[in-house]
Amino acid sequence: MYKFAAAWENEPIVFGAAKPGYSNAKAHDWVEFMKRSGIKRVCCFLSKRPSRKKPVAVVS
């Protein structure tokens, strides 16, 4: 779900995830998924003009 995976093979800290979507409900579901996955910090790389080709977030 959310294409959640390590940034590269054998990476123990940095992970990436697909963007949650634009609605509040989808964003809330994404946050809850991250919490259940044990994620405590998120670094977001979204621009002010969202693009499907840019990375959404790197989480640790």
46-55 pLDDT tens trace = 666 655 555 5
> Which tokens hold the place of 30?
């994404």
Top-confidence residue, 30 or 56? 30
Helix (H, G, I), strand (E, B) or coil at 44: strand
Helix (H, G, I), strand (E, B) or coil at 30: helix
Top-confidence residue, 7 or 54? 7
Domain containing 35 equals 5-59
14-47 pLDDT tens trace = 888 776 767 788 888 888 888 888 888 877 776 6
Cβ count near 56 (within 10 Å): 20
Torsion from C-alpha of 37, 42, 45, 51, nearest 10 degrees: 40
Count of domains for the chain? 1
What pLDDT is recorded for position 60? 47
* Residue 12 C-beta-side C-alpha neighbours within 13 Å: 0
What pLDDT is recorded for position 48? 65
What pLDDT is recorded for position 11? 85
